[in-house]
Structure 1
Amino acid sequence: MSAAQDHDANATKRALRWLLTGQIALALGLIIIDIGPAVPRFLSPSSQPELDLRTSPGDQTRRYRTRDPSNPGPGIDPDMPSRLRAEEVEIDGTTALQLRGAIAPGDASRIVDELRSTAPATLLLDSPGGSVSDALEIGRAVREIGAETRLLDNTVCLSACPYIFVGGVKRSIAENARIGVHQHAFGESTILPAFLAVEDIQRGQAEVLMHLDTMGIDLRIMGPAMATPADEIYILTSDELVTWNVTSD
């Protein structure tokens, strides 16, 4: 190889090296921009009381661990299924369908088929939350079949679960049951370029707002939902449940 050819080869290698370095730096920059705002929450998790501590008006925010949707903290049944399960149960002398467990991605297709095939008059819920898109799809199916939704004593409907609950044509909650809302993450990936992440969140929030409005829910509920970080949960009071039309009884 001549000196000129050797010089050209070295120049090409240097250009490729700089190009690769630039691409890595750009990728790291986009990741930092995307996850940067969440770093303080990661380094300093919520200091709110745990879920097993009772709430009262003005003291309604509790810690919510997001790593395991089926077990977001004390006060949740440790045997809560990791995926939503449908089971027929007897209540008040009639057969109802109970949905219990975390809402895992992909659950909607199976649960919607179950709802349409059994068409229960009453749907009982006990779920700490999970996939927003699946909850929205299930909630629409609940309204489609005309079922009522209920929370029995000591059950929960947190995070994405309220989007199923509001699908009921009639909605009621026992005194010791809890409904809670907070901010959601939308999309399959948690690491996206900033502009794509914002677009994904906006699209998801628009779908949630449309769902709530279609179901006749007062959109003031989105105030505490959007103000409460994902690692915390805001438990709605009985007055808020009635005023914002979350319950119908």
Structure 2
Amino acid sequence: MTAQAAAPRPKPGRTRRWLMAVLGLEGALALVLFASDMRLALPRLGLPSSAPALTQPVAPGDQTRRYSPRQLERPASPGQPMPSTGPMPERLAFEREGTVLTLTGSIAPGDAQRLAEALERAEEAPQVVQLNSPGGSVTDALEIGRALREAGAETRMTEGAICLSACPYVFAAGTERRVAEGAMVGVHQHYFGESPAMPLFAAVSDIQRGQAEVMGYLIEMGVDPALMQPAMETPPDEIYLLLPEELERFRLVTPEAEEA
């Protein structure tokens, strides 16, 4: 019997071409991912929004303002200058006075668990939750909202308070929801934890799942999911401030009882 012929060895030139093609494909994918990441990061790095400052009063059709959670100012009385709120806590601060719980500061990852533990330690659930927050973690905001709804708490905003970015999702959880004149409620696009190492198609899928979760949450809380339209149209370095009539139309506030 004759020995089986050895398999032909690939030519060095062909191997190099295959390697170059693979490296080229990986480089192109890296460029796509880098461009995608830079598109998300540029508003925070080097191309500030050209929208008016948050201190400027809004009017119908003129409601988009520059947004930076570290440079926030709030309105005082209508028609008066808007003084600074001062630095916000980098994660939620809990202040309890009787049956009123005040949540102040950014919503950081892990704040939902902190709040759940605080509610578990409390002798009774809060009846009213007051909010003053520039937003933050969407995931934690939804978890906090569900905890507040389970507790049966109302949500309120006092004059001069802010509730921006992910904060309105916490506010939406109130069994009754009130916004005082001079408070600011605003929405914009969110991140859902996509990683720079995640393939582009997976990152898009992750964002879509996140948006679907938020819409389902709003429906669960009795809020019109159409609220997502101005949110999705507003980039992360800007904020869309909702007018009182929009708060009512999106059912984000509880309608005032008609007088007898």
TM-score (norm 2): 0.80
Alignment of 1:5-44 (within 5 A): 18=20, 21-22=23-24, 25-35=27-37, 37-38=39-40, 41=43, 43-44=46-47
- Retained in 2: the 8 A contact 1:34–1:193? no
CA distance in 1, matches of 2:39, 2:89: 32
Please provide the CA RMSD for this pair.
2.8
Distance 1:17 1:190, change over 3 A: closer
Distance 1:223 1:17, change over 3 A: closer
- Does structure 1 residue 110 correspond to structure 2 residue 114? yes
Q: Percent identity?
A: 47
- Does structure 1 residue 247 correspond to structure 2 residue 250? no
Distance 1:44 1:142, change over 3 A: same
- State the secondary structure of the residue aligned to 1:234: strand
Distance 1:215 1:73, change over 3 A: same
Q: Amino acid of the residue matched to residue 25 of structure 1?
A: G
Q: Amino acid of the residue matched to residue 57 of structure 1?
A: P
1:207 aligns to what? 213
Question: Aligned-pair distance for 1:175?
Answer: 0.2
State which of 225, 228, 246 in structure 2 corresponds to 1:222: 228
CA distance in 2, matches of 1:86, 1:188: 29
- Retained in 1: the 8 A contact 2:72–2:85? no
What is the number of residues matched between the two proteins?
235
Alignment of 1:73-222 (within 5 A): 73-75=72-74, 77-89=85-97, 94-118=98-122, 119-190=125-196, 192-222=198-228
- State the secondary structure of the residue aligned to 2:239: strand
CA distance in 1, matches of 2:219, 2:239: 22
CA distance in 1, matches of 2:221, 2:232: 19
Question: Aligned-pair distance for 1:97?
Answer: 0.6
CA distance in 1, matches of 2:94, 2:67: 24
CA distance in 2, matches of 1:190, 1:138: 27
Q: Deviations over 1:213-239 (max 9, x none)?
A: 000001221111111111110111111
- Retained in 1: the 8 A contact 2:194–2:203? no
CA distance in 1, matches of 2:214, 2:114: 21
Q: Which has the larger radius of gyration?
A: 2
Question: Aligned-pair distance for 1:38?
Answer: 4.1
CA distance in 2, matches of 1:87, 1:48: 34
- State the secondary structure of the residue aligned to 1:54: coil
Question: Aligned-pair distance for 1:56?
Answer: 2.2
- State the secondary structure of the residue aligned to 1:140: helix
* Higher alpha-carbon deviation: 54-63 or 186-195: 186-195
CA distance in 2, matches of 1:74, 1:169: 28
CA distance in 2, matches of 1:16, 1:134: 47
1:4 aligns to what? none
* Higher alpha-carbon deviation: 102-111 or 40-49: 40-49
